[in-house]
Amino acid sequence: MQKAFIEEQFPVSLISKESYKERKANLGQTLTGLGKWWGRKPLILVRAVIIGLLMPASNNPQKDREIFLKILTMDADGLWQRCKGIPAKNVYEWSSDAEKEKYFQISGKSVRWNSQNPQKERDRLTRKYFDSLSYDKKLEYCDRPEQIEGASKEAWSEINAYLRTSASSIDELVEQLGKKRFGRIPRVGDAFCGGGSIPFEAARIGCDSFASDLNPVAALLTWASLNLIGGGNDLQKEVTKAQEQVFIKAKQQIKEWGIEHNEKGWQADAFLYCVEAKSFATGYWVPLAPSWVIGEKNKVVLKRTG
């Protein structure tokens, strides 16, 4: 059997950067809303591994890598496709003096595009700036691969010509590569599924997915990933509505009990605790907190008032 792409090479650095971006999304990650799990695999890593196992390696490793990145929208065109937009000010600071004069309008500290220039020319200059950035910097402006529909039609034409497939989506490609390699749709099994990243992403890109875990919480999270998040928009709306009803009832009960509120009627959003140690010299209890900053982005700090 022909060797798989992952047996010959794997773009570890780029996959690591994409995984880091996904992890930094915090609650914006696809599965974290269901519950926290230790060591949950990034979805882009799972997707890359499965594609790497299915895609055959050829005697042209450079072209193999190009096609692999196109499939994952991690090539130059794919990154541009994922770009959400770049502020005019950023492009302005990078541009030449002639480009600044032609394409931009300055009003005080505000930088705007000159609307007299066609959108096509502005996009060309923005793409030129985007291509000059490092991969890490580009990712700051990009959606994650899972957040877009997939590669462009032009990319699929090149992918299909190289792999001798006829796919127009990643699940179609997975099916066709699976039948070429195994004679059927690929099956992915995870006997220790944990938070469910592997079975979830495998199912999402078209594999037959099987999972289990000794820990019932892990099994529940994985079931929820496949059946709730993977259940479509209508089911997700139904679940969200049910959650809201539960939250309302719980809030009413807490209010009736008279707990988790202060004398002003404010309800607690979170409870924080800090370990203390007794000073043998003074007898005072000293809080062992490295910082009183609770939220850097929101500029929230803990202040003693009593």
> Domains of the chain: which residue ranges?
5-80+145-227, 85-139, 233-261
- Please state at what angle helix 43-54 crosses helix 12-24, rounded to 10 degrees: 150
Do strands 187-190 and 208-211 pair parallel, antiparallel, or not at all (unpaired)? parallel
pLDDT for residue 171 is more than 60:
yes
CA nearest to 10, candidates 61, 79, 81, 71: 61
Question: In the chain, what percentage of residues exceed pLDDT 90?
Answer: 71
Of the candidate ranges 70-74, 147-151, 230-234, 302-306, the one whose mean pLDDT is the lowest = 302-306
Between CA 304 and CA 302 the distance in angstroms is: 7
Query: Would you state the pLDDT for residue 97?
Result: 95
pTM > 0.75: yes or no: yes
Query: Would you state the pLDDT for residue 166?
Result: 97
pLDDT band at residue 134 under the 50/70/90 scheme: very high
pLDDT band at residue 172 under the 50/70/90 scheme: very high
Query: Would you state the pLDDT for residue 270?
Result: 79
